[in-house]
Amino acid sequence: MRNQGLFYPFIATYSEESDDILKTQKDIADFWINNENDNESMYNKFYKFVEKSTEISKSAKQDRGIHDILPLVWNKTPVGLIIINSKTRDILGFNLAFIEIFGIENPQNIRFNDLFKDPNITDSLINTIEFGENQRIEADYDFDKIKKSKIYSTSKKGKANLELILIPLNDKDANILIHVNDITNLKKAESRILLVNKELSFLTGITRHDVINQVSAVKLYAELLCYSQSDDDKAFGYLKAIEDCTGNIERLVNFSKDYENLGKFDNSWQDLKNMVLLSVSDVLKPDINLRIETGNCEIFTDDMMKFVFSSLSENSVRHGENVSLISVKFREDGDFGVISFEDNGVGVAKEDKERIFMKGVGKNTGYGLFFVKEILEFMGYSIIEIGCFGKGARFEIKVPAEKWRYF
C-alpha cells in the first residue's frame, strides 16, 4: 500500500523483548507498545505519533491526487508536448496534441524513428537541443518533405508555421521538453494585416498629398487677397482667418502622417544625448541655449521618440514666451529611469497640468502634447508636467527598468 502512495502506520505490541519474532517487529515497526513503567509518557508519545501519521497520510493522498491529474493535463492540453533525451535522441513521450499537430498516423512507431533526420530540422536546432538551451524558435515546416523522406506517416500536407519552445528539464538524464504550437493561422493573419496596412498607407499618402496641394492653393489665394484688400480691415480680417484655418488643416494632415507611423519602426538601443540633439536642432531658435546632462545613457525606443523631443521643444518655443534655456537631464529613480525636459519660460498653470495632454487642448492643432503622451504610452513610458508656474515648464518621462541602460 505504501508503494501505491498511501501511508499506513505499523504499530506493534509486545511484552517480552527476548522474543525473537516480536523483536523483529520492533525493529520494523513505526511504533511499538510495551509494558513501560511510565505509561503516561508512552501514551503521550503514541498520541504524537498518531497525529503525525495522520498528517503524512493527508499529504500522501494529495500527492497521489496530483499524480492522477498530471496524465490528464498532459493529454488534454492543446499545446503539443514531446520529451527527448538530448544525449541519446530517444523519444521518451509525446501527447495527443503533438500527434494532431503533425498528423502522425502511426504514433506507436514514432518512438523507433530518429526525428533528428527530419529534413525540416536544421543543424542549429539540433545543436540547441543537444546543448540543452532554453529558447523560443519559429520555424517553417514542410509536410511534403516528410512524405518524400518517409520519416513517419502523416495525414498533413503543404507547409505550416510552428513555434517551438525548448525547456531543459535539468535532470540527470539531460531530457528536454519541447512545446509545439501551430501558428500558421496567426502568421497568415499577420501577413493580411501587413498587406492591408501597406495599402491603407499608400491610399492615405496619396490623399494627404492631394489635400496638402489644395490647402496650399487656398493659402496662396488667401495671401494674395490679403494684400489686395489691405485697406479693407473687415475683409482683411476674414481673409487672415481663412489663412490661419488652412494652416491648421495643413498641420492636422501632417499630424495624421506622424500618427500613422506609430508602431511601424523597430525598437533599438539609442544614445539619449544624440537623439535629443538630432530632435531639437531644427526647432530651437538661435537665442535659446540647450543643456544636455544625460551621461552615457541609452534608451530602448524607436524613431518616434525624436518626435517627442522635437514636440516638447516646439512647445517651449511657442508657449514659453521668454524661453532662453532648455535642459534635458537623466537620473535614476529606483529601477526606473527619468528623463527631465525643462525650460525657463512662463510654465504651466496648476489647473492645466493634466489638460495639456488632452486631445484638442492648445493654441494650434491641440494635438502636439496629446500625441507625445500617446507615443510614450505605446512604448511603455509615461509623462507628467511638474514645473512651477512662472518659473518654467518641467516634463518628466519615466522609463521602465528594462528600457534604459548605461554604455
Question: Among 3.30.565.10, 3.30.450.20, 3.30.9.10, 3.40.605.10, what is the CATH number of 77-182?
Answer: 3.30.450.20
All residues at 6 or more sequence positions from 172 whose CB lies less than 8 Å from its CB, including other chains? none
Report how far residue 43's alpha carbon sits from residue 34's, in angstroms, rounded to the nearest whole number: 11
pLDDT for 22 beyond 50? no
**Residue 269's pLDDT is what?**
94
Report how far residue 159's alpha carbon sits from residue 142's, in angstroms, rounded to the nearest whole number: 4
From 192-201, 279-288, 359-368, the region with the lowest mean pLDDT: 359-368
CB 361 within 8 A of CB 371: no
- pLDDT category of residue 6 using cuts at 50, 70 and 90: very low
**Residue 32's pLDDT is what?**
52
CB 178 within 8 A of CB 189: no
Give counts: helices (H), strands (E), the chain: 11, 15
pLDDT for 230 beyond 90? no
- What cell was used for 109? 512507431
CB 120 within 8 A of CB 141: yes
Question: 99-130 burial, b for 16+ CB within 10 Å, e for fewer?
Answer: bebbebeeeeebeeeebeebebbeeebeebbe
Check for a shared fold between 77-182 and 268-406.
Answer: no
Residues composing the chain = 407
- pLDDT category of residue 204 using cuts at 50, 70 and 90: confident
DSSP assignment string, 50-79: HHHHHHHHHHHHHHHHHHHHHHHHHHH-SS
**Residue 7's pLDDT is what?**
44
Report how far residue 222's alpha carbon sits from residue 312's, in angstroms, rounded to the nearest whole number: 31
From the centroid of its chain, how far is CA 193? Answer: 20
CB 284 within 8 A of CB 312: no
Region class of 189: left (phi > 0), else alpha (psi between -120 and 50), else beta: alpha
Report how far residue 24's alpha carbon sits from residue 181's, in angstroms, rounded to the nearest whole number: 58
**Residue 143's pLDDT is what?**
92
**Residue 177's pLDDT is what?**
92
Better pLDDT: 359 or 52: 359
pLDDT for 106 beyond 80? yes
CB 312 within 8 A of CB 290: no
Question: 201-215 burial, b for 16+ CB within 10 Å, e for fewer?
Answer: eeeeeeeeeeeeeeb
Q: Which helix (H) or strand (E) holds 260?
A: helix 233-260
Better pLDDT: 177 or 23: 177
Question: Among 2.60.40.10, 2.40.37.10, 3.40.640.10, 3.30.565.10, what is the CATH number of 268-406?
Answer: 3.30.565.10
Number of C-beta neighbours around residue 271 at 10 A: 15
**Mean pLDDT within 368-381:** 88
**Mean pLDDT within 20-25:** 47
Amino acid type, 338: V
**Residue 28's pLDDT is what?**
46
**Residue 41's pLDDT is what?**
66
From 111-120, 256-265, 296-305, the region with the lowest mean pLDDT: 256-265
**Residue 26's pLDDT is what?**
45
Bridge-based pairing state of the strands 336-343 and 297-301 = unpaired
**Domain chopping of the chain, boundaries:** 2-73, 77-182, 187-260, 268-406
Percentage of residues of the chain with pLDDT beyond 90: 31
All residues at 6 or more sequence positions from 301 whose CB lies less than 8 Å from its CB, including other chains? 267, 268, 270, 379, 403
Number of C-beta neighbours around residue 397 at 10 A: 22
Measured N-to-C along each axis, helices 304-319 and 272-280 cross at an angle, to the nearest 10 degrees, of: 50
From 72-86, 94-108, 206-220, the region with the lowest mean pLDDT: 206-220
- pLDDT category of residue 34 using cuts at 50, 70 and 90: low
What ranges make up the beta strands (E) of 36-174?
80-85, 91-94, 135-142, 159-168
What are the tens digits of pLDDT across the range 124-144?
888 887 777 788 989 899 999
Among residues 51, 52, 53, 31, the alpha carbon closest in space to that of 42 is found at 31
Number of C-beta neighbours around residue 404 at 10 A: 22
pLDDT for 119 beyond 60? yes
From the centroid of its chain, how far is CA 211? Answer: 38
Say which DSSP state 49 is in.
Answer: H
From 62-76, 178-192, 342-356, the region with the lowest mean pLDDT: 62-76
